[in-house]
Amino acid sequence: MSRPDRARVGGYGAAVCAAAYGSMKLAQALGANALADKDPLPPHLREQLLARDPWFVASHWLLAGAAVVGVIVALATVRPWGTRVPRRLLLTIAWTLATFMIARSIGALGGGFVGDILLLTGVRPASVEHAELAHMLARWDLLLWSPFFLLWGLCWAAAGWRLSTASRGQAVFASCPGTRPHPSID
């Protein structure tokens, strides 16, 4: 794989992660379980989620729609038609999502690798009435959700880095066969 192709992996990776997340949320909105019982939520919210509370169903539709937008934005960082989008807007979105997702995976927003390990090792005890559920959700978060959000965040960071390091006159999309840089790359 050539260097320009490797540099594009972040944008494509962010698009694939957004599509996977959006597909899961769409399935949940349509009534499928699709890992809903593994969502690391507080017990009362988890019960509402599993009972298909209208607010949760609506939130799944919104998240599925946001994921579609995420796919489009991620692809805009690597495809020639993305030059029509202001570069600063793409940079802001990419770096904001990278920061949020990496922080979520590490545990700065609760849970994450740090929170899960603290809970599973007993350093941060779970409530007695929900201890078994908390441990099960922490294991799922540690093995699935946190690594997924870390990967997704790193993909956004790679996409943002690629856009950041391209100079104004340099073709960000030079690695796309048969394309020329758009005059308004910024």
| Cβ burial 121-133 (10 Å sphere, 16+ → b, else e) | eeeeebeeeeeee
| Cβ burial 157-169 (10 Å sphere, 16+ → b, else e) | bbbbbbbeebeee
Name the residue with higher pLDDT: 101 or 48.
101
Residue 154 confidence (pLDDT) above 60 = yes
Q: Residue 165's pLDDT is what?
A: 86
SS3 (DSSP) at 40 = coil
What pTM, to 2 d.p., does this model score?
0.85
Tell me: the pLDDT tens digits for 38-80?
888 888 888 888 899 999 999 999 999 999 999 999 999 999 9
Tell me: the pLDDT tens digits for 5-19?
667 999 999 999 999
User: For the residues 110-139, what does the mean pLDDT come to?
Assistant: 91
